[in-house]
Homo-oligomer: A and B are copies of this chain.
Amino acid sequence: MKQLEIFKALSNKTRLEILQWLKDPEASFPEQAHVSGFEIGVCVGEIQRKAGLTQSTVSEYLSILQRAGLVTSTRVGQWTYYKRNDIAFDELSKIIQSDI
């Protein structure tokens, strides 16, 4: 049951906020030093700073969002960039109309 995993991922205040930030990274994060723009996503450190939780917690939250398919990740050097997966939200929106 995939949608259960998605809703569990969404049922946490911080994880919802992270997704909202990733929806508009330009407005939510300072320019990243090691890469130009937010095309590949936002690195864990920036998200952690903004969330105000420990590194381990934020890292775990991001992997929960990824397992649910709500974000994708790209490793570049020592950084991992997380990006909102727009397609997943389109699909979820449809599931809510047709399945539930």
Contact = CB atoms under 8 A, between A and B. Distances in A.
Interface in A16-53: 16, 19-20, 23
**What does DSSP make chain A's interface, helix, strand, loop or mixed?**
helix
Given A1-B16, A13-B1, A93-B93, A100 B23 contact: yes
Given A11-B4, A13-B4, A93 B97 contact: yes
14 contacts: A1-B13, A3-B16, A4-B11, A7-B11, A8-B11, A10-B11, A10-B100, A11-B11, A20-B99, A20-B100, A89-B97, A93-B94, A93-B97, A96-B96
Interface of A: 1, 3-4, 7-8, 10-13, 16, 19-20, 23, 89-90, 92-94, 96-97, 99-100
